[in-house]
Amino acid sequence: MSYLILSFTHKNTEISTREKLSFTQDDQKILFLENCLKSQEIKEIMLTSTCNRTEIFCFCQDIHEAKVKILDELQRHSKVQFDVLNKYVDLYDNDGAIYHLFSVVSSLDSLVVGETQIIGQIKESFQFSSRYGFCGKNITTAIKYSSKCASKVRNATSLGTGQVSVASTAVSLAREVFKDTKPQAIIVGAGKMCDIAMRHLLKSGFGIVLINRNTTNAKRLKENIIKEKPKYKNMITIEPFENLRENLSNALLLFSATSSSSPIITDDMIGKFTQHCYWFDMAIPRDIQSIQRENLTIYAVDDLKVFINKNKTKRENQAKEAIKIIEFMQKEFFEYLKEKQLAPIVKNLYKKADNIINEKVQTAIKKGYVNRKDSQNIEKLCQTIIKKLLHNTTKNIKKTKNKETIDIIKNFFDN
């Protein structure tokens, strides 16, 4: 049995393909995961779909067959040809899969190294798969260990501090553009990305017009922010989604991150601009259609790479420390798995010895070889002898690394 990850990210897949691979609805995820598990080769599976990555993590019997099945189902979902998916995909198995998982959760594989949003996204993906019974103890163990690894990275390095998300990077760029003025910023959406963008904008003195299809969610977001920072109460206005078009006409600054499967801001919704406007599309699939207008600059997720890379060198030394931690945790994880496999062998060995001692002592009592009142002391003596006899054997069993050798030991001791 093997761990396997199929990965499509900002590193290997262009945005136009990533948005086709994204899963915006729960029923899409359920159908995809159910279909994957129809293969006898795949035993457990979870799916992570964010603005920067679509990754499938599974526990499988045959790596090649599992890969083919997953790519086939991705082709069905995305309408991207199998050969194209096969060209883009990065494949990680066993040691590589666990190292990659730990790197992702520790945010070393993120577009913005050190961003903390990915931890919550992986947790949500795992909880979703668990809720519907798509993953079991093997993926659960790996996810728990990945969280442990991420925690160690955060505690030992400064990764996770400062401007460390796509949303905060976009706001940082907006602050550079509007150094002397603070135009009202339009936020379209009410999810985590918009929450982060709003908090950074408000902190920088920008007023907010919040627009979302679900007004209740918009109100909840506003209330949560005001509860923490009452001073922002008069800086946030909520507009109904129907007013989006008219708000676009004078939107000098706009941030959008919805879960829509198609653009919500299209070419026909906007006219000419008299002032230069800066719009940030933080969604995958993209919220803003590819629009060419004078005085309009649109930044998609991948466009922010240039600005993110400016601060890359500052984090490189911290990333090196994080890699050491990840390598150590990866090794510890497989040691833990090995111990879990070998522990029952050792336990059963001692259990069998105890049963034999008990049986032989009872036989000796019946035949009159020993007195019943001495039986407990005799049993303790026998157990001491067994422990001494099996000490080196069990020590060597615990050192075993090779899976085939473990199987031989199981058969040898009839486990």
Tokens representing residue 73 in the block: 């189902």
pLDDT band at 54 (very low <50, low <70, confident <90, very high): very high
pLDDT band at 400 (very low <50, low <70, confident <90, very high): low
DSSP string, 292-329: --TTEEEE-GGGGHHHHHHTHHHHHHHHHHHHHHHHHH
Tokens representing residue 186 in the block: 């339009």
Tokens representing residue 282 in the block: 């933080």
> In the chain, where are the structural domains located?
2-160, 166-308, 362-392
Top-tier CATH class for 2-160: alpha beta
Exposed e or buried b per residue across 364-400, where buried means at least 16 C-beta atoms within 10 angstroms of its C-beta: bbeeeebeeeeeeebbeebeeebeeeeeeebeebeeb
pLDDT band at 408 (very low <50, low <70, confident <90, very high): low
Residue 315 has what pLDDT? 67
> Would the CATH topology of 2-160 be identical to that of 166-308?
no
Using alpha carbons, list the distances in angstroms from residue 3 to 21, 42, 105: 22, 10, 16
- Rounded to 5°, the CA angle 167-172-175 comes to 130
> Position 260: which residue type?
S
Residue 26 has pLDDT above 90, yes or no: yes
**401 or 53: whose pLDDT is higher?**
53
Residue 213 has what pLDDT? 92
Q: Supply the pTM of this predicted model.
A: 0.71
* CA atoms of 281 and 328, how far apart (whole Å): 38
**What is the rounded average pLDDT for all residues in the chain?**
87
Residue 15 has pLDDT above 60, yes or no: yes
| Tens digits of residue pLDDT in 177-200 | 898 888 999 999 998 889 999 999
* CA atoms of 261 and 188, how far apart (whole Å): 15
Residue 339 has pLDDT above 80, yes or no: no
> How many residues in the chain?
415
60 backbone dihedrals φ, ψ, rounded to 5°:
-135, 165
Poorest-pLDDT segment among 32-36, 258-262, 367-371: 367-371
Residue 374 has what pLDDT? 80
Residue 322 has what pLDDT? 86
| Tens digits of residue pLDDT in 106-160 | 888 887 776 778 888 999 999 999 999 999 999 999 999 999 998 888 887 766 6
- Rounded to 5°, the CA angle 105-108-110 comes to 85
DSSP count for the chain of H helices, then E strands: 15, 10
The residues assigned a catalytic role are 51
Strands 2-9 and 53-60, bridge-based pairing: antiparallel
Most confident residue range from 159-168, 260-269, 309-318? 260-269
Please give the order of strands across the beta sheet that includes 253-256. 236-240, 208-212, 185-188, 253-256, 277-281, 296-299
> Position 195: which residue type?
D
Using alpha carbons, list the distances in angstroms from residue 178 to 138, 175, 211, 311: 50, 5, 22, 20
Residue 240 has what pLDDT? 93
**What CATH code is assigned to 166-308?**
3.40.50.720
* CA atoms of 289 and 264, how far apart (whole Å): 8
Residue 80 has pLDDT above 60, yes or no: yes
